[in-house]
Chains A and B, each alone.
Chain A
Amino acid sequence: MNLERFGMDTVTLAGSLETKLAAMRQAGFSQVMLSSADLVAHPGGEQAAIAAVRSSGLRVTGLQVLRDFEGLAGPLHAWKVDVAKAMLALCRAVGAPLLLACSSTSAHASGDPAQLVADLRKLATLAVPLNIRIAYEALSWGRHVSDFAQACELVEQADRANLGVALDSFHLLAAGTPLEALDGIDPQKLFFVQLSDFLWQETRTRDDRIETARHYRVFPGEGAHWERLAELVRRVDAMGYGGDWSFEVFNDDYRSLPPAMVAERARRAAARVASLVPGRSLPLRRRSRCAARA
C-alpha cells in the first residue's frame, strides 16, 4: 500500500493550524483531514486558514464533522439544514471533497428509517452542486444508528451517488463488532476509512466508550487491538477499497507533545499499516473531484 493514501487528522496535534500542517508535511504526509474548527477558530479568520491550507501543499481529504443531522423535525430540522449548508460551503471554500457526517446522538431525533433515508438524500442533494461527497459514519453511541451495518443499510436505501459510508475502526473495535460486518460492502460506497486503536482491552459502558474515543485513542500498532485492526485493514483492502485512509486519533497526551514528534509516530503507523498489504497493485486514486481543471 502506498503512503500517499494516508493522511492525518488535525485533531490529533497541538498548536496552530500552520504548525499542524507543517508537522504533517515534515513527517512526509501528503494529505490532511480538517476539522471545521481549524477554519472558523483561526485567529486570522477563515480566509487566512484557507490560505494556510492551500499554501501547505497538502491535499484536503475532507472536513469533519456534521453532527446530529438526520431524524429531526420542524424548526430543529430547518436549523440543522442551515448548519449543513454552511459546512458544505466551508468544504467548497477549502477544497475539501468530502464532508464527514456522524449518526445522530440527539434525543430529539426520530429513528424512523424512512425519515433517516429522506434526510440523508436531502444532505446528498445539497452537496451535489458544490461537488462534495457525504461520508456517513455510525457512531457506536449513536441514538438510532450505532453500527456500521446500519449505516450501510441506510446509505444503500438512500441510493445517491455522492453518499457513502465512513468506517472508523475505533467504533468496530470498541463495540466488538465482528469484522464480518465488512463483508458484502460495495467498495464504491465506502468513501473513507479512519484508523485508530486504544490502550485497553475493553470499553465497558457507553460512557466509557465515549470517554475513550475522545481522549485515549492511539495510532495503529500502539494499542491493544493490533491484530484485529490489521485484519480490518486487510479486509478493506481486499474488497478493493481505493479511497483515502486517515488516522482519527483523539488523545490528550498527543495534544501535550510536540506536533513533530506525534506526526512522526503517525508516519511510523502509516508504514506499519501499509506493510500489511504489500505487493498489491492499488488502483489509482480517484481524480480530485474539486479540481477546477481537468
Chain B
Amino acid sequence: MTVAERLPEPSNPLGLDGVEFVEYATSRPQAFGALLEQLGFSPVARHRSREVTLYRQGTMNLIVNAHEARTATPRLAAIALRVRDAGYAHRRSLELGAWDMPTRAAEMELVIPGIRGVGDSLVYFVDRYRDFSIYDVDFVRLAGADPQPPALAGLHYFGLVQAILPERTADWVDFYRTLFGFAVLPEGTSFGVLPDGTLLESPCRRFYLQLVEPPPAVADDVRWDEALVRLALGAPDVPKAIAALRARGIVFVDRGRVQPSERGALTQAYLGGVSFELVASDLAS
C-alpha cells in the first residue's frame, strides 16, 4: 500500500528564472520604435511573417507587435517568463485554473505556450533561453544590427505595474501566488517613486509586480480598467540613468510628489499614455 505524502510545494515550482521578453501591441510601431530607441533599445530582428519587431538592450528583449493591433497607444500585451520546462509550466497552470491562451502560431512557427493574464494580456512560458533562442526560429536578424546591443546605464527589467479594481488585491495575490509562486513583500517595502499598492516578488527574486487599486479620490470620469499599465526598468545608478536618458530626449515627470530621485523616476506619458519607470536596482549584478 502506498500512502500519499502531503509534502509542501517547492517555493519556485516552475523554476522561474526572470523575464525572457515583454511584448507591447500598437498600431504605430514606428513611432513607438523611435521612443524605444530613445530609451536605449535597438531593433535587432523582425518576425518572418508578421509586423513584429524585436528590440533589445543588455539583457532585455522587447517585442513590438503591430499585427492586428487595435490601438495606437502602446499596450502591454504579454510577458514571457523563463521557466525550467515550458510544457510543464503550461500544464500545471491549466491544472490549477489558468485559462489557456488562444492558439496563434502559424505553420513553421514556434509554439510558445501561454495563459491569459490580466485584461487582454498573456503570460508566456519560455524554456529555450540558454543555448538556443526562440528568436532564431521566428525572427530574421536585421542586417547591420548589433545582435547584442549593450544596456544604457545598466538598465534591466525590474517589474510591471498592474492596475486592478477596488478590493481586488487579495484576488490577484492569490492568482500570482497559486500559479507562479509570487510572494507578497512586507508592508512598508517599496521601490521607486510610486510606492502605492501591493508588491509581489517572483520566486526567483528577479522580478516584481506592483498591484495598484484606484486611489480613493480618483475622479468618476477617470477610466480605470484592470490591465498591465507600466514597465519598470531597474538601474544601478538612477541619477546616471536619468542623465543618460535626458540626453537622448526622454522627459521625466518632476511635479508634485513624483520627483526624479536616487530611488527612481517616471517618464512622461508618450503616444497617448505609455510611460516607463526607473527604479534603483542591483538585480542585474
Contact = CB atoms under 8 A, between A and B. Distances in A.
Interface of A: 85, 114, 121-126, 128-129, 131, 160-162, 286-287, 289, 291-294
10 closest residue pairs by CB, A with B: A125-B97, A161-B170, A122-B97, A294-B214, A294-B224, A128-B175, A126-B97, A162-B171, A161-B171, A128-B171
B107 interface: no
13 contacts: A85-B99, A114-B6, A121-B96, A122-B95, A125-B174, A125-B178, A128-B171, A161-B171, A286-B167, A287-B167, A292-B224, A293-B222, A294-B214
Nearest to A287: B166
Nearest to A88: B99
B117 A292 contact: no
Interface string B162-182: 000111101111110011000
Nearest to B221: A293
B218 A294 contact: yes
Interface in B175-205: 175, 178-179
A129 B117 contact: yes
B37 interface: no
A121 B178 contact: yes
B220 interface: yes
Nearest to B117: A129
- Majority SS at the chain A contact face: loop
A124 B97 CA distance: 8
Interface residues of B, number: 29
Given A121-B96, A124-B174, A294-B214, A131 B168 contact: yes
B168 A289 contact: yes
B112 interface: no
B77 to A, nearest CB: 15
Contacts of A161: 170-171, 173-174
A57 B220 CA distance: 19
Contact of A128 (B95, B174, B214, B222): B174
A172 to B, nearest CB: 28
Given A124-B174, A293-B224, 4 more contacts: A85-B99, A160-B174, A161-B171, A294-B166
A129 B178 CA distance: 13
A129 B118 contact: yes
Task: Tell me which of B6, B99, B225 has the highest count of chain A C-beta atoms within 10 A of its own C-beta.
Answer: B99
A292 B225 contact: yes
B262 interface: no
Q: Name the residue among A121, A161, A286 with the largest chain B CB count within 10 angstroms.
A: A161
Nearest to A290: B165
A294 B97 contact: no
Interface in B86-104: 95-99
Nearest to A161: B170
A138 B118 CA distance: 31
A113 to B, nearest CB: 12
B255 interface: no
A292 B167 CA distance: 13
A291 B223 CA distance: 10
B220 A293 contact: yes
B124 to A, nearest CB: 16
B17 interface: no
